[in-house]
Amino acid sequence: MNSSIMANTLNVEQIRKEFPILKTEANSYPLVYLDNAATSQKPKVVINAVSNYYKEYNSNVHRAAHFLSDKATVAYENARVTIKEFINAEDAREINFVRGTTEGINLVAYSFGAAFVKPGDEIIISNIEHHSNIVPWQMLCERCDAVLKVIPVSENGEMDLSAFEQLLSDKTKLVAVQHISNALGIIHPIERIIELAHRKNAYVFIDGAQASPHIPIDVRELDCDFYAFSSHKMFGPTGIGILYGKASILEKLPPYQGGGEMIKEVTLEKTTYNDLPYKFEAGTPNIAGAVGLEAAIKFITELGHKEIMKYEHDLLLYATKELMEIEGLKIIGNATSKVPVISFIVKDIHAYDIGVLLDKQGIAVRTGHHCCQPLMNRFQIEGTCRASFAFYNTMHEVDMLKSSLQQAINILRG
The catalytic residues are: 371
Cα dist from 103 to 25, 39, 247, 268, 312, whole Å: 34, 17, 19, 29, 29
Closest by Cα among 319, 330, 341 to 379: 330
Q: CB atoms < 10 A from the CB of 60, how many?
A: 16
CA 198, 202, 205, 211: dihedral to nearest 10 degrees? Answer: -30
Distance of CA 27 to the CA centre of its chain: 29
Are the beta carbons of 35 and 366 closer than 8 angstroms?
A: yes
Helix (H) or strand (E) holding 147: strand 147-151
Longest dimension (CA), the chain: 73
Cα dist from 406 to 188, 267, 303, 335, 347, whole Å: 32, 68, 34, 25, 13
Per-residue DSSP letters for 211-225? TTTTS---HHHHT-S
Q: CB atoms < 10 A from the CB of 125, how many?
A: 23
Q: Please state whether the peptide bond connecting residue 340 to the residue before it is cis, i.e. omega within 30 degrees of 0.
A: no
Task: Name the pairing type of β-strands 384-388 and 366-368.
Answer: antiparallel
Environment class of 165 (CB within 10 Å of its CB; exposed 0-12, middle 13-18, buried 19+): middle
Residue 83's identity, in one-letter code, is I
Q: CB atoms < 10 A from the CB of 380, how many?
A: 6
